[in-house]
Amino acid sequence: MTTDATFAATEQVREYGERATESTRAFGRQAIDVYEQAVKTAVDFERAAADAAPAEWIKSAIGAHATFVADVNAAYVGAVRSVLS
């Protein structure tokens, strides 16, 4: 009897752990989606500012920064998504 109760308790703990892990991953995926969209919005704004800049060197500097941020963000989001898979 003790063995059956121990097995049942162990099984319940394992199932709880699996549900908790999946819930955490789902939350993580949702959080990274929101983060990715927020950065995309900021980069889009920065690119629009570059287009409106009065001097070519300012356009180039702002555009380069926007590209850098987008590239770093893509790498970061990709790494996080691979961990959450």
Mean of the pLDDT values across residues 25-32?
Answer: 96
Residue with tokens 């993580």: 28
pLDDT in the model for residue 9 = 87
Q: pTM to 2 decimals?
A: 0.79
Please tell me the number of Cα atoms within 13 Å of 22 on its side-chain side.
5
Mean pLDDT, all residues of the chain: 94
Position 5 scores a pLDDT of 84
Closest CA to 66 of 78, 49, 54, 52: 49
Q: Phi/psi of residue 6, each to 5°?
A: -65, -45
For residue range 42-78, list pLDDT tens digits in order: 999 999 999 999 999 999 999 999 999 999 999 999 9
What is the reported pLDDT for 1?
60
